Every structure is written in C-alpha cells, then in structure tokens.
Amino acid sequence: MWRATLPNRQSIREREEEIKRSVDKKNEEEPFEFTKTDILAMIIAAFQILLPIMLIGVGIFALFTYLFTTYFMK
C-alpha cells in the first residue's frame, strides 16, 4: 500500500496551485485559440445532444395533435 501513497506526499491544495501555475504559464506562452475544427466538433456534439430531445418533443406534439383531432374534434 505504501507504493500507492508514497508519491502523493503533496497536499491537494499544493498540487492544485502547482497545476494552476503551470497552466497559466502555458497560456501566457501560447494562448489557446479555437480552430475551425474545434468549433465544428462542438457544433456536432451539440446536435448529438439536442436533436434526440427535439425529435422526442416533435413526436409528442404530433401524437397530441393526432389524438386531439381524432377524438376531441368529432
């Protein structure tokens, strides 16, 4: 068990501060910019999440409209 805990002698707060400093240093050297490929990937990911939700909504609306016109408009 000591092998698993031995490298982790830093506290979580110290490790977090070290990571923040390294990320800030990297961002100062070379700021991150979104490329066209990144933007396209985000758009595709949004459609993968939103499209099924929209299709379910359209299906429920179509079912409600069909039932309403069939049974209540007679």
The pLDDT value recorded for residue 5 is: 60
CA distance 41 to 31: 20
Q: Does residue 49 sit in helix, strand or coil?
A: helix
Percent of the chain as helix, strand, coil, to the nearest 5: 80, 0, 20
User: What would the two tokens of residue 64 be?
Assistant: 């409600």
- Mean pLDDT of residues grouped by 10 in the chain (74 residues)? 61 89 87 89 94 97 95 82
Answer yes or no: pTM beyond 0.75.
no
